[in-house]
């Protein structure tokens, strides 16, 4: 880095990112569509839509509904499957100078292991992000992400099945996120993605039915910002692992709050839908802000919370 | 596809809760094909968060016939469209587009029968552009326009100006046929039995399903422009899926209305 | 009730309310201020600011900050104390034909029992609402409201200390609210108030400090509506106790969603701040809506969720 | 106290990000005393959710001197005031008021010395009404007005029209004294040593604290109008608390700025 331009690069464990702005899983597809309006190489990374071992059709529509300052989704993890990803999607993403993170999920330990093994060693894949917000159907629906033991076990199982850096994505719908963070760390996580969506629902009064076909869905968008910030605060108190801050980020102000609390990078989710240039603009805004503030490296900001 | 912050250049109120917004943007205008849509912001705030999909209504061209802008024809149905109704000239909206798969229309050299455009309510919005394009390449066009009332009829004047014959139906009988717009269509097909007619439809799902059934029975091709709730409009959120036939064994899969559509061959869709 | 006018009265256990609209604790003071702009007798009930045995000064300012579609507060339960309430506040509230519910809290079991005993038998008091979103300082800060055992115990302790109907107010910041609902039921709760605020925080980027003096605070307002609805859905699945639906209610549409999900009454909170006539207007709107819909009693609506 | 949806009747831009909104509402106007405030909505949406506190600037009276409206003098400091700046005549705001404890002013018959009004920035807003009232009951008034720059000075014309002598200070020296407004006040007190002077202040907290210290040293009464973040404005949320002396033992307690204030005897407050 030359003397003047602020250095935006960050390290997430062994992974070096050119900047700390990443597109969040499920809000950026597999990157192809966005490449039509932006240069993906400008982004720190792209997390692709949650992959399972096999193709998934997903839930019946309606799959989204707006809520005050946010939205609910119940996509049901529709995806092209690990195979389809490797064949049809990854080769395209490899063309860009950006980190590619595969968000993965399963309904049993075995499914998690299978998809992790299938993706292991794939050229151009930077890391795995473990989506543990799914119920373990073998264990009678106990949630992988809300029970510390299951969190640790599924993390370890995937850890053992893959040589890729492993990010574990935590659910906010728990009594103590710090406990889950420690469980993921114990299982061998290299970093924590905080947070996934919160559970919510709405009712269509005219029909007296849930608006979503699946009754409830995941809440995302600006409305969840203060909750996400609090979860990052608690996670940072529980562990020294790198943190990817996620939730309600629209631009510079929100991203800075996450960095100050100790997030090492941020992911932009719902904003990609209503402001498709949001993540690219955030990279520019961060650079300019650092320059104005005389900050040479974004890392100076990370965890700079003043207390008392 | 461009993402632009555009000033509203014109506002025209055309019926009860119906209005036309005009924009200047040569890049978007140059790419617009009949059936394309844009995603537009409705508020500067986060309430509501999402943009709204709107079909391209007309493409604006300058004296040398170069496209420099476009218009949207909008009907108020909920909070977002109500906010749009309050906008004035000079207000800004974020506009992403053009998006989606447009209607597939024959070229000048392709022979074809009469093109029958069937529409209900604000589903009329994309059809003046369809008619314009078809006429330009020398095809015959006829429009069947339905609405709740005479007041709420849309695009009838556009078609008349283009010289397209129009048949009208209203739910309350206040103009044209008293009933659904599929009846005049049905009647026309029965009395005239036009050879190689080609069908297009956009409107409420029951109406499009009825047209689909006519198309099946009479063995006529039909393209429908489908409206699904959309969060992103560009194919990344998977919120707008519709069922299409997966070929063998009567199986089906989901495709994205915003990307694989909004215009579909009606026979590809699974009409539940 | 005459033939035509819809009957808005509801029963919450043994408590009969003239209508199902109640002002939520901490957003209506002790009623005095609002009586200057409305007739309190038009409301189903008023829950007063959380009372402790002794006067509390509360937290240092800043105590509030706005967030997208909501607000955070860290009032710190400033209140006049049980004694002050009985002497200065309750006599005034008795003048109105509305239910008066005392929201109570403590830092130990003993404090809960003390305030419950002090309020027992007070003329004009309709019910107690137990705020269990406080850490039990004697037990090393384990939260009364997030640990099922503590929830059951504190409910039973207060149940035994008072003859008043007992509503227990649940915290949404738990893995499984159904478990807490059952714990409160086992402890002898007569009804459940769902939900209290969610934990959240924001950072003032310029100073790199938390915006609130207490670091984090409670999130309320429209932003939390879908979460509150989901929590009521889960609570209804867990228990048949009457439910008071709370969270993000601004008017008719939101209240109807709560009723359809099985709430027997609703509480209006943050909306009282930015729309002081919100709760009174909701009573009128409910009456008119029932009339338009041909609904004779609001109870027809309660739990009328269509599924499948 | 009334909660009313009022149309904006007038908009006047008076300086950089400074503007005056006018409203008609005889009920509210009739109750307004100098120092009162209102809570006003800034958006029709939930972004931001809360109303904003604004001091009553002027009371509007008809030919027969009956109050029929009031104005607010507003400076843009954040998102809510920025939204207000974009409003036009005819837009509606929710207005709750008048609220709070106004300034305590002497009646006609009460003797008093000169009344010195000390203000900084938009803290000037309540003072023209204070001056008007004092003059009406025959008291002498002098104004000390501070701002960042000459452009940003507020209310100077109001005072001149009322015949109130004004001393001005600007942070950048572009008009009047170069520095803080407490210096001209200090200077005046030193050179004139007015008997029984009465002080009033509103503006940034450091400025009010400085005036408080002068008041203590010179043993002059001082009322300050304090600005705290407010959620409800009517005393129910307890968000706006300020520390006041609890009497004995140097102890203190919180009182509500919106209800026990915003105007306080400066000696009651704990100046941290
Ligand atoms: C490709 C496409 C093109 C469209 N073109 C036009 C057009 O040219 N002119 C026009 O006026 N409208 C058009 N629409 C429909 C328009 O997008 C919706 O009316 C609008 O999004 C509703 O927003 P709202 O906030 O007013 O309603 P909301 O408050 O969001 O909803 C009100 C009602 O409308 C329904 N609704 C919401 N979004 C959609 C949607 N995307 N499709 C169908 N129903 C919906 C809701 O289920 C609800 O019942 C189009 C939709 C699509 C998908
Ligand atoms: C009794 C009273 C009377 C007032 N009278 C006037 C008036 O006549 N004219 C006028 O322009 N302003 C007045 N104010 C201040 C005005 O309320 C704030 O400037 C306004 O609420 C800021 O809103 P915002 O959304 O623009 O700023 P925000 O985005 O909410 O905040 C921007 C900055 O302003 C600070 N701030 C926010 N609210 C307040 C507040 N209530 N008091 C002080 N600082 C605040 C924040 O801490 C932040 O630093 C008054 C305040 C009070 C309490
Ligand atoms: C439509 C949609 C689909 C999502 N799909 C996934 C997914 O497949 N895997 C996952 O881990 N998170 C998924 N998420 C969660 C986001 O990655 C992100 O954690 C969440 O939306 C919060 O961030 P935001 O407020 O910026 O949207 C999805 C979110 C949305 C809105
Ligand atoms: C400023 C404020 C103070 C509150 N104080 C209390 C309280 O003392 N006791 C309590 O149980 N809940 C308290 N609450 C929570 C509310 O009663 C209500 O449960 C919550 O705000 C969610 O509802 P809403 O979104 O309608 O505000 C308070 C909420 C706010 C905003
Ligand atoms: S609207 Fe997002 S995929 Fe179609
Ligand atoms: S602003 Fe609510 S108590 Fe003062």
For C91-145, how does the pLDDT look when each residue is reduced to its tens digit (9 = 90+)?
999 999 999 999 999 999 999 999 999 999 999 999 999 999 877 777 766 789 9
Q: Which residue has the tokens 């919450």?
A: C12
Substitution target in A74, A93, A273 with the highest count of B β-carbons within 10 Å is: A273
Beta bridge partners of C23: C46, C268
Tell me the DSSP string of C223-250.
GGHHHHHHHHHHHHHH--S-EEEESS--
C-alpha Rg value of chain B to the nearest Å: 18
Express each pLDDT in C61-94 by its tens digit.
Answer: 999 999 999 999 999 888 999 999 999 999 999 9
C-alpha span between A198 and A72 (Å, rounded):
9
Express each pLDDT in B48-105 by its tens digit.
Answer: 999 999 999 999 999 999 999 999 999 999 999 999 999 999 999 999 999 999 999 9
User: Per the structure block, which two tokens stand in for A194?
Assistant: 């905080």
**Per the domain annotation, does C305 fall within a domain?**
no
Q: What beta strand segments (E) does C34-132 contain?
A: 45-51, 64-67, 70-73, 99-104, 127-131
What is the pLDDT of chain A when averaged over all its residues? 95
Flag whether residue D47 sits within 8 Å of chain B, measured between CB atoms.
Answer: yes
Tell me the DSSP string of A127-144.
EEEEE--SEETTTTTEET
Positions of CATH 3.40.50.80 in chain B:
115-225
CB spacing of B49 vs A78 below 8 angstroms:
no
3-state secondary structure of B75: strand
Confidence at C6, pLDDT banded by 50, 70, 90: very high
CATH code assigned at A81: 3.20.20.70
Which residues are CB-contacts of C239 (< 8 A; sequence separation ≥ 6)?
C178, C181, C182, C185, C192
Q: Name the residue at shortest CA distance from atom 3 of ligand 6.
A: D235
**Per the domain annotation, does C4 fall within a domain?**
no
Within its chain, how far is the Cα of A274 from the centroid? Answer: 18
Confidence at A83, pLDDT banded by 50, 70, 90: very high
C-alpha span between D147 and D171 (Å, rounded):
6
Question: From the CB of B233, is ligand 5 less than 6 Å away?
Answer: yes
- Beta pairing class for A166-170 and A127-131: parallel
C-alpha span between C247 and A93 (Å, rounded):
43
Within its chain, how far is the Cα of A171 from the centroid? Answer: 11
Q: Is the pLDDT assigned to residue A22 strictly greater than 70?
A: yes
Domain B2-99 in CATH 2.60.40.2580: no
Q: A-C interface: how many C-beta pairs under 8 angstroms? A: 132
Q: Which of C58, C78, C277 sits opposite D3 (nearest CB)?
A: C277
**Per the domain annotation, does A2 fall within a domain?**
no
Question: From the CB of D49, is ligand 2 less than 6 Å away?
Answer: no
Domain tally, chain C: 1
Which domain covers residue C184, as residue numbers? 10-300
Topology of domain B115-225, CATH: Rossmann fold (3.40.50)
C-alpha span between C256 and D47 (Å, rounded):
23
pLDDT for the residue numbered B249: 67
Flag whether residue D45 sits within 8 Å of chain A, measured between CB atoms.
Answer: no
User: Closest by alpha carbon to C64, among C193, C174, C206, C210?
Assistant: C210
**Per the domain annotation, does C220 fall within a domain?**
yes
C-alpha span between A260 and C160 (Å, rounded):
47
C290 carries an active-site annotation: no
Q: Name the residue at shortest CA distance from atom 14 of ligand 4.
A: C26
pLDDT for the residue numbered A142: 74
Question: From the CB of C220, is ligand 4 less than 6 Å away?
Answer: yes
**Per the domain annotation, does A4 fall within a domain?**
no
**Per the domain annotation, does A28 fall within a domain?**
yes
Express each pLDDT in D136-170 by its tens digit.
Answer: 999 999 999 999 999 999 999 999 999 999 999 99
Give the burial class of B6: count Cβ atoms within 10 A of its Cβ; 0-12 exposed, 13-18 middle, 19 or more buried.
Answer: buried
**Per the domain annotation, does C1 fall within a domain?**
no
> Which has the higher per-residue pLDDT, D107 or B246?
D107
Flag whether residue A69 sits within 8 Å of chain D, measured between CB atoms.
Answer: yes
3-state secondary structure of C188: coil
The pTM (predicted TM-score) of the whole model is 0.97
Confidence at D249, pLDDT banded by 50, 70, 90: low
Contacts with B43 from chain D: Cβ below 8 Å: 45
In chain A, residues 162-221 whose CB comes closer than 8 Å to chain B: 221
Q: With beta carbons less than 8 A apart as the criterion, state whether B165 and B81 touch.
A: no
Please tell me the distance between residue A72's alpha carbon and the centre of ligand 3 in angstroms: 10
Segment holding B146, helix H or strand E: strand B141-147
Active-site position among A134, A180, A212, A266: A134
Q: What is the largest CA-CA distance in chain D?
A: 55
In chain B, residues 12-41 whose CB comes closer than 8 Å to chain D: none
Positions of CATH 2.40.30.10 in chain D:
2-99
Question: From the CB of C187, is ligand 4 less than 6 Å away?
Answer: no
| Among chain C residues, CA nearest to A147 | C175
**Per the domain annotation, does C2 fall within a domain?**
no
């Amino acid at each position: 880095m030359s003397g003047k331009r602020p250095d935006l690069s960050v390290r997430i464990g062994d992974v070096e990112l050119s900047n700390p702005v990443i597109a969040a899983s499920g809000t950026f597809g597999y990157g192809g569509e966005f490449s039509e309006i932006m240069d993906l190489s400008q982004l720190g990374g792209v997390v692709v839509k949650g992959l399972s071992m096999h193709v998934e059709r997903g839930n019946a529509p309606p799959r989204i509904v707006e809520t005050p300052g946010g939205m609910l989704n119940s996509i049901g993890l529709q995806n092209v499957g690990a195979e389809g990803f490797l064949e049809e999607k990854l080769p395209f993403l490899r063309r860009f100078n950006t980190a590619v993170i595969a968000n993965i999920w399963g309904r049993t330990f075995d499914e998690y292991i299978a998809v992790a093994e299938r993706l292991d060693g794939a050229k151009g894949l930077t890391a795995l992000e473990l989506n543990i917000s799914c119920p373990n159907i073998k264990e009678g629906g106990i949630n992988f992400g809300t029970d510390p033991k299951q969190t640790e076990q599924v993390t370890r199982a995937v850890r053992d099945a893959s040589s890729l850096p492993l990010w574990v994505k935590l659910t906010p719908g728990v009594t103590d996120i710090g406990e889950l963070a420690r469980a993921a760390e114990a299982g061998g996580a290299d970093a924590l993605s905080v947070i996934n969506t919160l559970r919510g629902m709405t009712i269509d009064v005219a029909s007296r039915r849930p608006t979503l076909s699946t009754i409830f869905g995941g809440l995302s968008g600006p409305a969840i910002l203060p909750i996400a910030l609090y979860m990052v605060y608690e996670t940072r108190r529980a562990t020294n692992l790198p943190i990817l801050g996620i939730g309600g980020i629209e631009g510079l102000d929100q991203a800075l709050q996450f960095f100050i609390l100790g997030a090492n990078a941020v992911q932009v989710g719902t904003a990609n839908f209503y402001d498709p240039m949001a993540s690219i603009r955030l990279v520019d805004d961060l650079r300019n802000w650092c320059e104005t503030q005389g900050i040479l490296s974004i890392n100076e900001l990370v965890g700079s919370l003043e207390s008392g | 596809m461009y993402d632009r912050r555009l000033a509203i250049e014109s506002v025209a109120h055309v019926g009860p809760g119906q209005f036309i917004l005009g924009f200047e943007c040569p890049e978007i205008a140059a790419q617009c094909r009949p059936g394309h849509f844009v995603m537009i912001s409705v508020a500067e705030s986060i309430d509501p968060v999402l943009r709204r999909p709107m079909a391209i209504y007309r493409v604006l061209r300058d004296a040398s016939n170069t496209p420099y802008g476009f218009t949207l024809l909008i009907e108020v149905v909920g909070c977002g469209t109500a906010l749009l109704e309050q906008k004035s000239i000079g207000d800004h909206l974020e506009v992403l587009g053009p998006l989606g798969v447009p209607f597939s229309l024959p070229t000048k050299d392709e022979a074809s029968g009469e093109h029958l455009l069937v529409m209900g309510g604000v589903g009329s919005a994309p059809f003046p552009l369809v008619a314009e394009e078809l006429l330009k390449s020398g095809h015959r066009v006829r429009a069947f326009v339905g609405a709740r009332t005479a007041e709420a009829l849309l695009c009838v004047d556009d078609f008349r100006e283009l010289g397209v014959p129009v048949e009208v139906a209203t739910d309350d009988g206040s103009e044209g046929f008293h009933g659904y717009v599929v009846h005049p269509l049905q009647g026309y097909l029965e009395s005239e039995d036009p050879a190689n007619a080609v069908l297009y439809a956009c409107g409420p799902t029951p109406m499009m399903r009825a047209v689909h059934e006519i198309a099946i029975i009479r063995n006529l091709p039909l393209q429908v422009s489908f409206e699904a709730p959309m969060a992103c409009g560009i194919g990344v959120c998977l919120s707008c899926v519709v069922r299409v036939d997966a070929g063998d064994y009567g199986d089906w899969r989901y495709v994205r209305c915003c990307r694989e559509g909004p215009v579909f061959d009606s026979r590809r869709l699974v009409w539940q």
